[in-house]
Structure 1
Amino acid sequence: MSHTPSEPNRREVLRRIGLAALAAGPGAGLLSACATGGSATPTASGAASAVPTSAANPLGVDSAKQLEVVIFSGGNGDGYATKLHEVLYSKAHPKAKINHVATQKVGTQLRPRFISGDTPDVVNNSGPEALDLQTLVAEGHVADLTPLFEVPSLADPAKTVRETLVGGVYENSLIDGVPRVLQYTVAHRALWYNAKLFAKRGWQAPKTWQEFTALGEEAKKDGVALFAYPGQVGPFYQLWNLVYSAAKIGGNKVIVDIDNLADGAWQADAVLKAVTAWADVQRDFGDKAYLGLDHTQTQIKHLQDKVLFYPCGSWLENEMAKDKPAGFDYALAPVPSVTGADAMPYEAIMVGVSEAFFVGAKGKNPQGGMEYLRQMLSREGARGYTEMTKNLTVVNGVVEGLELTSAVRSAARAQEAAGQHIITDARFETWYKELFDHGQTQTNAVMSGRVTPEQFCAEMQKKADELKADSAIVKQTRSV
């Protein structure tokens, strides 16, 4: 089935989440369907809710049923669930007991449960051990979220849930043409640096690769690494960085071809140039010691100004809030232009949606699971999440008046500067988890110098070709 995302235009995402005025310049202030009834709500497994739907209960939730919620307790912790979203659900359904499970090992903890049939109702499928959604869908474990997207929104009852969300959210939910996953946050993936350090040293974020490496030479004199990523827990940070840098060189078609398992996609000239450029930076300005560290250890080094640039997503500031010193202000920079003929300008950054949630189709309370997501997408649920985690959600126009951090402001301004030059999100992480996991291993191999960039590309292409030839694997396609 075709999977066609909707890329945001110059002001679309900022406008829809209430940040259009923010990017206008320093000092700018923040900008400010009908209910169904009478019928039962079908679930993905074909069963129907025993509770009739109504304006007050459009998903037909049995308020007496227990709800189990599994949250990945990573950079955002799990307090937003226990202190906000679960509280909202309890207010709406006070008789329901909520079983809260927090874990940093989603796959290890949940895979045996799905095999045994002990399925949770809501899963925050994030982190290095995220479950393979394609496999779960094939086994009938992931609910069809069509009812959720079509019911009235709590953020704006005059609109459906789908109508209140940032463009691209619904498109990103589709697996085999059916909405299966809710991506809850707006994510910016680029390079993060200390704005206070750069101001103190009189440095500007480099726009060209020559400026980037020149800064690396200067930093090297002080024993500072130009760049680092965590090789133990978080090699996917750099895998993303390689793929999005390749898109900058060759355009978004590079990512579309990778996602579509197109012949030779991983051996395209743009991919080879991106991998070569980053491998050279690691060799000349990096420190192999970081390959043995996890993400928290590496991020501490970054906060200590022992690393200038760190590739990560918008959750970084909140993840390190307790450790961030007064002399550090997170700021986002696009990847410098790698060649003089890049298809996309320097300002281009990756803006997408992330933080995946799904409902267990074979759980004891799938209607309650969808209602939980609906509460998350309410004005109170979305606004509160941003206040607690410093991350923007996909709900339109709910952050008016919030005091935002330097990282969020920087990301919003970078997005505005990018305009229509948005690097599309890669989908193979969700579509073909085996390929993504293989990519992490190969990323560490090429960045440590154990294989050449050419070998990296060949190994990735070999794995992609294997998956393409495997008739047991359902294939996904996208056009843009």
Structure 2
Amino acid sequence: MENTPQITRRGLLRAAALAPMAGALAACATPQAQAPTSSAAPAATSAANPFGVDAKKPLEVWIFDGGFGDAYATDIHQPLFKTKYPDVAIKHSATKEITKVLQPRFAGGNPPDVIDNSGANALDMGALAQDGQLQDLGPLLDAPSWDDPNVKVRDTLDPAVVDFGTLDGTFLSVGYVNYIHGIWYSQKAFRDNGWAVPKTWDEFLALCETIKKSGKMAPFTYAGKHPQYLYEPLLTMAAKIGGNEILVDIDNLEDGAWTAEPVLRSAEAWAEVGAKYMMEGTAGLDHVQTQTAQNKYQVAMLPSGSWLENEQKTTTPDDFEYGMFPIPDVTASDKLPYGTLHTRPGETFIVPSRGANPQGGVEYLRAMLSKKAAGDFSELVRTVSVVKGAGEGRDLTPGARSATEALAAAGANTVHFRWRSWYAQLHDEAVAATGRLMSGGATAKEFVDRLQKKADELKADSSIKKYRR
């Protein structure tokens, strides 16, 4: 395929069919990142300017306006970038609808230079990579860090960043935040009511029953309009029961991966929660509405990630005291121990290969990955960055401290899955199937069968690039 700013007709049709759902660009036959166009030729490189940034060329940055907002970009990252490139005009934009807003830019051959590709409506990373739309960020890893020219950028990062950002051997995206998933609650509410954090599923169900009978609040909720908030703990539980290979098999589209007994058992467990202990009206609420209900002590527990505390900072009572606990043990023979967490690099940044200034885009990421920028970010948005030591000496809020302690306790017992970013169609199907499961519209068996059918369809579709881990 020629390196021209166009997309296949199939890609346009698929994008139109999926918009505004996640899944942006369908594929032509190029499975690797491509070089920037000739209009984006680099300036001279040097030790101080490893990517050949034109010191006067404008830079366009788009940030996902989600749990972390976008002030970190305007108040931390961009001012830092301009200390070295004061004449670069930065055009900053933010949106909650990354795919809806930016897919036409890719289709038109004029994407921006840096994108925080995050949120429920993130661009389809697998399709972007397959269509050659992503800049190879390998040179970023081997460039001198912004802070210390004697230390490479790769040596400042959690190694998982490289693993998660690599597709088919090419490093294409940078996860900036260490997402730590779990069940979130108010430490104050639990303390005041004498409720103990459950360590087994029986204890969790007993706690739900106690809270329900108390009449003080509903036991549980989730973002009913965005069911991926619930399929995350469902899959984490499946991995606890059956081991990490459960998630590896699902990622690799293995036959029968979704219908495996641990996935079915987990679906049954969460369906029971949906039937007995859900806050009324959950199916019609989004993540902010359910989280705000928790801040108002209308519901005790919900699943989320370590962005939650910052996302809710304007509605959380001063003494609310967020806490997080891992998925409880389900059986005495769980393959993975108590404390196992789903954690992964998130808030994923990409540099489009066909943007006007990919060199400036990569340099922007290098500035972001400085210890100062990452530390200031962590303190501002109450979370944990992937840059080693960035949180040292910083004041952590209760939720950030709870999540950090849970991650430390988990040690090597962490799990993750990749299919969500590889196969947007499977994500869309999982969202719909999870919503049906939790509202009682489908049984656990119907849930796993539906997702296995979709996975089988993807596996059989030769036009879709397959990934493995």
Give TM-score scaled by structure 2 length: 0.91
Of 367, 387, 394, the residue aligned with 1:375 is 367
Indicate which of 451, 463, 467 corresponds to 2:454: 463
- CA distance in 2 between counterparts of 1:346 and 1:306 reads 28
For 2:265 and 2:46, locate their aligned partners in 1 and report how far apart those are by CA, in whole Å. 57
**Which one of the candidate residues 418, 426, 439 is aligned to 2:417?**
426
Q: Which residue of 2 aligns with 1:435?
A: 426
Structure 1 counterpart of 2:199, from 202, 207, 215: 207
Aligned counterpart, 1:472: 463
User: Which residue of structure 1 lines up, in the alignment, with residue 74 of structure 2?
Assistant: 82
Identical residues among aligned pairs (%): 45
Work out the CA distance in 2 between the residues paired with 1:196 and 1:157: 46
Give yes or no for contact 1:65–1:97 (8 Å, CA) kept in 2. yes
Distance apart, 1:346 and its partner CA = 1.7
Give the counterpart letter for 1:277 in structure 2.
A
Inter-partner Cα distance in structure 1 for 2:34 and 2:242? 42
Which of 152, 159, 165 lines up with 2:151 in the alignment? Answer: 159
In the alignment, is residue 55 of structure 1 matched against residue 47 of structure 2?
yes
Match of 2:436 in 1: 445
The match for 2:210 is 218
Provide Cα deviations, 1:103-134, integer angstroms capped at 9, x if missing partner.
Answer: 01001000111111121100100111100011
Q: CA deviation at 1:286?
A: 1.1
Q: Which amino acid aligns with 2:254?
A: A
- 1:186 paired with 2:170, answer no
Name the Cα RMSD after superposition: 1.4
Distance 2:288 2:305 in 1: 14
- What is the aligned partner in structure 2 of residue 105 from structure 1? 97
Name the structure 2 match of 1:235: 227
Q: For each residue in 1:189-241, what CA deviation from the matched residue of structure 2 results, as whole angstroms up to 9, or x when unmatched?
A: 01011111111122210011111111111111233222110111x31111111
- Deviations 1:395-437 (Å, cap 9, x if unpaired)? 1112221111011111111112222222x21101111111011
Query: How far apart in 2 are the matches of 1:195 and 1:51?
Result: 54
Counterpart contact for 2:295–2:317, Cα < 8 Å: yes
Alpha-carbon distance in 2 for matches of 1:397, 1:371: 21
Aligned to 2:303: 311
What is the alpha-carbon distance in structure 2 between the residues aligned to residue 387 and residue 413 of structure 1? 16
Q: What is the letter of the counterpart of residue 89 of structure 1?
A: F
Does the Cα contact within 8 Å between 2:140 and 2:362 map onto a contact in 1?
Answer: yes
Structure 2 residue identity aligned to 1:452? T
Whichever residue aligns with residue 408 of structure 1, its letter is A
Relative distance call for 1:46 and 1:99 in structure 2 (3 A) is: closer
In the alignment, the residues of structure 1 paired with residue 41 and residue 107 of structure 2 have an alpha-carbon distance, to the nearest angstrom, of 24
8 Å CA contact 2:179, 2:343 repeated in 1: yes
CA apart distance, 1:381:
1.0
Q: Which residue of 1 aligns with 2:29?
A: none
Q: Distance in 1 between matches of 2:151 and 2:231?
A: 38
| Greater shift in the superposed pair: 449-458 or 222-231 | 222-231
Q: Structure 1 regions of 5+ residues with no counterpart? A: 1-41
Deviation, 1:288, is: 4.5
Q: Check conservation: 1:43, 1:366, Cα contact below 8 A.
A: no
Whole-angstrom distance in 2 between the partners of 1:155 and 1:274: 45
Could you tell me whether the CA contact under 8 Å between 2:221 and 2:290 is conserved in 1?
yes
User: Which deviates more from structure 2 when the two are superposed, residues 155-164 or residues 190-199?
Assistant: 155-164
Q: What does 1:409-420 correspond to in 2, within 5 Å? A: 409-420=401-412
1:175 aligned partner: 167
Contact 1:67–1:369 under 8 Å retained in 2: yes
| 1:362 equivalent in alignment to 2:366 | no
AA aligned opposite 1:413: E
CA contact under 8 A between 2:36 and 2:355: conserved in structure 1?
no
- Number of matched pairs: 435
Tell me if the contact between 1:90 and 1:96 (Cα under 8 Å) persists in the aligned partners: yes
**Residues in 2 aligned to 1:268 and 1:419: alpha-carbon distance in whole angstroms:** 27
Normalising by structure 1, we get a TM-score of: 0.89
Map of 1:265 onto structure 2: 257
Q: Which residue does the alignment assign to 1:33?
A: none
Task: Determine the structure 2 residue equivalent to 1:38.
Answer: none
**Larger relative contact order (Cα-Cα within 8 Å, sequence gap ≥ 6):** 1
* d(CA) in 2 for partners of 1:445, 1:154: 48
Q: CA deviation at 1:327?
A: 3.1
Matched, 1:44 2:23: no
1:142 matches 2:157: no
Provide the secondary structure at the position in 2 that maps to 1:426: coil
4+ residue runs over 6 A deviation = none
Alignment partner, residue 7 of structure 2: none
Q: Determine the C-alpha separation between the residues in 2 that align with 1:226 and 1:471.
A: 45
What letter corresponds to residue 252 of structure 2 in structure 1? Answer: N
**Quick one: distance in 1 between partners of 2:42 and 2:260?**
54
Q: Distance in 2 between matches of 1:384 and 1:155?
A: 14
Q: CA deviation at 1:46?
A: 7.0
* Correspondence 1:397 to 2:383: no
Measure, in 2, the Cα distance between the counterparts of 1:108 and 1:243. 28
8 Å Cα contact 1:245-1:274 kept in structure 2: yes
Cα deviations by residue, 1:83-102 (Å, 9 ceiling, x for unpaired): 11111111111111111111
| 2:327 is equivalent to residue 341 of structure 1 | no
Q: Are the counterparts in 2 of residues 156 and 164 from structure 1 also a CA contact under 8 Å?
A: no
Letter matched to residue 95 of structure 2: T
Matched letter for residue 381 of structure 2: T
Answering whether residue 207 of structure 2 is matched by residue 252 of structure 1, we say no
1:229 aligned partner, one-letter code: Y
Give the whole-Å Cα distance in 1 for the aligned partners of 2:37 and 2:248.
33
Aligned-pair CA distance for 1:139: 1.6
Deviations 1:442-475, CA, capped at 9 Å, x for gaps? 0000100101000000000000000000001111
Q: Secondary structure at the match of 2:338?
A: coil
Mapped partners of 1:381, 1:391: distance in 2: 13
Q: Is the 8 A contact 1:49 1:61 kept in 2?
A: no
- Partners of 2:389 and 2:315 lie apart in 1 by 31
